[in-house]
A and B are shown apart, each in its own frame.
Chain A
Amino acid sequence: MPQHVLVNHQDHAAVKVLDCHSPELSESSNFTMVFPTEFRDVQSQYPIFFQKNSDTGQLYPVALLGFEPGENMYLDNSGWNASYIPLMERKQPFFIGFTNSGSDTSENDNGHPNGSSMVVTMDPDSPRVNHANGKELFHADGSPTEFFNEKISVLEQVHYGYEHSEKFVAAMIENDLIEQFVLDIQLNDGSVKQLLGFYTVKEEAVQNLSAEVLGKLSESGFLMPLFMVLASHSALSGLINKKVALEAKP
């Protein structure tokens, strides 16, 4: 894990951050974590599935970006080509940290040590961070710029998103609504690409949910995100078409 530093106006008055997306600036992955709170925006653009955190074994929702490791079909040198960009991508290069008597103790967005307060940390080695190009974090008087305030707001949404997401996934598992799946993509030359390691919502199981369970899910605020996941699957065909077209090029 990169060494994160606490962002403050003394140390970072001259720092500039590139607020754009490109293959050089973003981590190459074919999925990115998304939160139920943003599913409504995510679903129109990206198929939503689930992935397992290899460190904890816990499932979490992701937006599918491509079909091969490292493939992000939304991203090219012109930027991130979608009308909505997931929170986790927008928060870069910032993280939520927690302080305990002034010293930075955590680099996890989702850790909440007792008696600590939330602060913003940054990966100083991120390619977005420099002194020449990009947006400033602080005004001359030390107050945060509008740009930095926006980032803080994104981080707050992420922070809340983690907690809500864990509960959402737990409810999905409890009601046996998630299963592993394999997606076969038939390319024009007849070969088949397989997407492995993702989990999806069992549509039939959702249709068979009892009124009682539906009521409970609704009360907990999980019903809408659940339907958003199902709705998101219509974004899959667009992504597949793009992949087929991409592979067809010489």
Chain B
Amino acid sequence: MIREVVIVGGGTAGWLTAAVLASRYKSATEQDGGSPLASQSAFKQSNSGYSKAGHSKAAQGINITLIESQDIPPVGVGEGTWPTMRSTLQEIGISETELFQSCDASLKQGTLFREWLKNDGHHYYHPFTPPAGFHEINLAEWFHEFGESVPFAQAVSPQAAVCDQQLSAKQISTPEFGFNLNYGYHLDAGKFVEVLKKHCVEKLGVRLLRDHVTSVNCAEAKGSQKGNITSLHTKTSGAIHGDLFIDCTGLGGYLIRQHYEIGSVDLSSVLFNDRALAVQIDYEQQQNISSATLSTAQQSGWVWDIGLSSRRGVGYVYSSQFCDDEGALNTLRGYIEATASKGVADSIEPKKIGFSPQYLTRFWHQNCVAVGLSAGFVEPLEASALILIEMSAKAIADAILLEGDALNIAANKFNDDMTYHWEKIVNFLKLHYVLSQRDEPYWAANRNADSIPHSLQESLAIWEGRVPWHNDTPRSDELFSSASFQYVLYGMNFKTKPNITFRRDAEKLKTKAKGYFSENQKASAKWLSVLPENRTLSDKVKQYGFPKL
């Protein structure tokens, strides 16, 4: 029975997980409908290792303690979210307005990939809004017949045109969390952690323990396996007991990797990037904010460019196998010189990040589950870091009331699900490289058959004969739907053999498709005329806030 949850690590993963759990379940010390502040004082009374016996029998709930070490600064990766963050924030109870006012947020409507196909200015969008009529017709099948005068994303969604003009996804009169076009956020990861922490501690009754974990006490090992964790020993607060321990300690994976020695799936033969240089760049006076994450392919990797309301976050992620740190710095400088100025480019002092692309073979082991970087890390090409935290936290929340065998089954299912999602992420990221026609050694190596997962090769073989559709991405919680595959494939000029003439209802479908293409052109024109610039919206939200309805 899980009643005491201990989260180790006060980064985005730790606090976001705490917020998801604590917003779903009340703590045992909290009275029904009582104020969370009351539970705060209860925590203080029983400072360390508060005992279960201390709770009255009537109290039903889950106590959450987060151990945050002052010695370890949070990594703060993940400044781009998916649209799922909107519902996550709503569940947690953090207002969208606060995100703008406290985390320098701006609206993100997708990613613009530049020069991924060829080094010739080619670019395409992967927007968050699926193609028009996605529920009833596969518009991609008709793209070649009607749409080819414009790129795929522009032909099937108004979002590409809106992003081209750096417009926002909604108006100031659109209610909080409501949208005209689907969106996620760009936000300051460091400030986001602070907002989550404050909300968890002040509103949700999460107990914050500022301490450093020094060792793990675990139950008698069965055979060669280590048993459940019983408590964590801390530098100043003694033993912290718990029923479930969530490892949010970052790449090191203090519990899951160091204590339990769970291995990982090495991805370095598929995804070559293992280094990043990251900087923050100030805007020129009143410069507009980009509506999409900009991803610009380079000689041995790609540069991300994320527009917050206060600054840009820019970084070069590359492969050390193909590029040394000096070369990487020059590439990053070149990008910044082109997008800001030579002065800015010369003065940067980027933060260096090294990583090996991998994910765990087991994410939930005994009574320990890994969330965030401890679970795995790959390059931020599709901003998968935060969404995986959201998914993991919600899955843990779904499982946490289970007991005995049911809990074990849920833990196994969690492992299966996460493995599934990681495999899909790897394939989807690799797809971007496989379709490239760039000829530098890094890009050529990325197209070596040895480096392409078998399942991706199979999918590509099928897609040469028919376009991706719902059954290619069958799960309801799929990270990348067939719409995403379509945007990347046809954004990068992938050719699917037209076979529509074989269809019995070809004429009927043709009329319908034609209608959607022309409707989309009208929708694009409409949104271009009514949506404000992304910067204008950010400024207005700071001043007025989003309306509640």
**Contact residues of A with B, CB < 8 Å?**
52-59, 173, 178-180, 199
Chain B residues within CB distance 8 Å of chain A: 171-174, 540, 543-549
In-complex Cβ contact of B171 among A54, A179, A199 (8 A): A54
Enumerate chain B residues within 8 angstroms of A54, measured Cβ to Cβ.
Answer: 171-173
Contact check, A53 vs B173: say whether CB atoms are below 8 A apart.
yes
CA distance A66 to B547 in the complex (A): 25
Chain B nearest CB, measured from A66 CB (Å): 21
Query: Which one of A53, A56, A173 lies within 8 Å of B548 (CB-CB)?
Result: A173
Count of A-B residue pairs with CB < 8 Å = 32
Q: Which of chain B's residues have a CB closer than 8 A to the CB of A180?
A: 549
- Residues of chain A within 8 A (CB-CB) of B549 are 59, 173, 178-180, 199
> Using Cβ atoms and an 8 Å threshold, which residues of chain B touch A59?
547, 549
Taking the closest CB of chain B, its distance from the CB of A31, in whole angstroms, is 15
User: Can you list 15 pairs linking A and B with CB atoms under 8 Å apart?
Assistant: A54-B172, A55-B172, A56-B172, A56-B173, A57-B171, A57-B540, A57-B544, A57-B545, A57-B546, A57-B547, A58-B544, A59-B547, A173-B549, A179-B549, A180-B549
Residues of A within 8 A of B543 (CB): 56
Identify the closest chain B residue to A173 (Cβ).
Answer: B548
Contacts of B544 in A (CB 8 A): 56-58
Q: Smallest CB–CB gap between B36 and chain A, Å?
A: 20
Judged by DSSP, the binding face of B is loop
CA distance A59 to B546 in the complex (A): 11
* Cα-based distance from A53 to B549 in the complex (angstroms): 13
The 8 Å CB contact of B547, one of A55, A58, A179, is A58
**Minimal beta-carbon separation of B100 from chain A (angstroms):** 12
Smallest CB-CB separation from A178: which chain B residue? Answer: B549
Residue of B171, B543, B548, B549 ringed by the most chain A CB atoms within 10 A: B549
Q: Is the CB–CB distance between B171 and A56 below 8 Å?
A: no
What is the CB-to-nearest-CB distance from B176 to chain A, in angstroms, rounded to a whole number? 9
Instruction: Report the nearest A residue to B176, measured CB to CB.
Output: A57
Please, which residue of chain A has its CB at the minimum distance from the CB of B548?
A173
User: What residue of chain A has the Cβ atom nearest to residue B170's Cβ?
Assistant: A57
User: A196 to nearest B CB, angstroms?
Assistant: 13
A87 to B273, CA, bound (A): 66
Name the A residues within 8 Å of B540 (CB-CB).
Answer: 55-57
**Roughly how many angstroms separate A180 CA and B171 CA in the complex, as a whole number?**
16
Q: In the bound complex, how far is the Cα of B171 from the Cα of A54, in angstroms? A: 8
The residue on A at minimum CB distance from B530 is A54
| Given A56-B543, A179-B549, 13 further pairs, Cβ under 8 A | A53-B173, A54-B173, A56-B173, A56-B540, A56-B544, A57-B172, A57-B174, A57-B545, A57-B546, A59-B549, A173-B548, A178-B549, A199-B549
CA gap between A52 and B545 in the complex, in Å: 13
B187 to chain A, nearest CB (A): 20
A2 to B540, CA, bound (A): 23
Q: List chain A residues, Cβ under 8 A from B546.
A: 57
B544 and chain A: residue at smallest CB distance: A56
Residue of A nearest to B543 (CB): A56
Q: Chain B residues with Cβ under 8 A from A199's Cβ?
A: 549
The 10 lowest CB-CB distance pairs between A and B, nearest first, are A57-B172, A52-B173, A57-B173, A57-B547, A56-B544, A173-B548, A54-B173, A57-B544, A178-B549, A56-B172
Minimum Cβ distance to chain B for residue A205 (Å): 12
A53 to B173, CA, bound (A): 7
Q: Who on chain A is nearest to B537 by CB?
A: A57
- Chain B residues contacting A55 (CB-CB under 8 Å) are 172, 540
Taking the nearest CB of chain A, how far is it from the CB of B449, in angstroms?
A: 54
Q: Which residues of B contact A58 (CB under 8 A)?
A: 544, 547
A173 to B545, CA, bound (A): 14
Q: How far is the CA of A58 from the CA of B540 in the complex (A)?
A: 11
Docked pose: A56 CA to B548 CA in angstroms = 13
A57 vs B541: C-alpha distance when bound (angstroms): 9
Distance in angstroms from A166 CB to nearest chain B CB is 11
Nearest B residue to A180 via CB reads B549
Contacts of A56 in B (CB 8 A): 172-173, 540, 543-544
Closest-CB distance, B96 to chain A (whole angstroms): 12
Q: A245 to B172, alpha carbons, bound, how many Å?
A: 37
Complex CA distance for A54 and B549, rounded to whole angstroms: 13
Chain B residue with the shortest CB-CB distance to A170: B548
Give A56's nearest chain B residue, CB to CB: B544
Q: A214: shortest Cβ distance to chain B, in Å?
A: 20
User: How far, in angstroms, from A178 to B540 measured CA to CA in the complex?
Assistant: 23
A196 and B171 CA atoms in complex are apart in Å by 17
Query: For the complex, what is the distance from the CA of A240 to the CA of B171, rounded to whole Å?
Result: 31
Give the complex CA separation of A178 and B543 in angstroms: 22
- Measured in the bound complex, the distance between the Cα atoms of B547 and A58 in whole Å is 6
Q: How far is the CA of A177 from the CA of B455 in the complex (A)?
A: 53
B534 to chain A, nearest CB (A): 16
A178 vs chain B, min Cβ distance (A): 6
In the assembled complex, the CB of A247 is this many whole angstroms from the nearest CB of chain B, namely 28
Give the nearest-CB partner of B547 in chain A.
Answer: A57
